[in-house]
Chains A and B, each alone.
Chain A
Amino acid sequence: GAGVSQSPSNKVTEKGKDVELRCDPISGHTALYWYRQSLGQGLEFLIYFQGNSAPDKSGLPSDRFSAERTGGSVSTLTIQRTQQEDSAVYLCASSLSGGASMDTQYFGPGTRLTVL
């Protein structure tokens, strides 16, 4: 079946512009996660959606970052007034359910964001 998809695969933008990154999770997965992978570093948790519950936004690095998940499916990560330090690969993952069950997370291919 179809896995997690992300678009665009690559995004180059100018400093100060806003960007939107999209994630389509696996159908039926109630949990969705966003991570950031900077060069030479591990994955940094950003935000977690579980069903209709309020998202866990504890990993968002600043108020320039926001995310929403419409209809419990597609999610959009928005970065406002991008800075060069925002350059990274943004990964999305989904799992059948989240929380203590910790079902396997399936990752998308990522969006490589470059801020000039």
Chain B
Amino acid sequence: AQSVTQLGSHVSVSEGALVLLRCNYSSSVPPYLFWYVQYPNQGLQLLLKYTSAATLVKGINGFEAEFKKSETSFHLTKPSAHMSDAAEYFCAVTDSSASKIIFGSGTRLSIRP
């Protein structure tokens, strides 16, 4: 069965610094991979989605993620953190039938002034 692992339940970076949130999926390549963001007291919203069209996926708010099959990874990055990026980030993959999404446990991103 598909699974996804997010390394680090909490990441803290300084404003302006690089953001790197790690995500690894189980060995079989899932049809789709996602990053979702949950701002405080808000619902989840889609940041970006990998569909095999391109290994580097650009999302909203300056985030991007690179699919690396050799590393079974789909890490999320942003060159320069902004205070408004403070939120919970979830990596997710589809199951093999692509009928449902399996979420990681989430990484809480804090931004230091």
Contacts and interface: CB of A to CB of B under 8 A. Distances in A.
Q: Which 8 A-B pairs have the closest CB atoms?
A: A43-B103, A42-B105, A42-B103, A107-B44, A107-B43, A100-B98, A109-B43, A102-B32
B46 A98 contact: no
B94 A102 contact: yes
B98 A42 contact: no
Interface residues of A, number: 26
Contacts, number: 58
A109 B45 CA distance: 10
10 contacts: A42-B103, A42-B104, A42-B106, A43-B44, A45-B100, A48-B100, A50-B99, A91-B44, A98-B99, A100-B97
Contacts of B100: 33, 45, 48, 56, 59
Interface residue tally on B, bucketed by range: 20 to 34
Interface string A31-51: 001010000111111001010
B101 interface: yes
Contacts of A102: 31-32, 51, 94, 98, 101
A41 B105 contact: yes
A74 B101 CA distance: 21
A103 to B, nearest CB: 10
B57 to A, nearest CB: 13
Contacts of B106: 41-42
B43 A45 contact: no
A25 interface: no
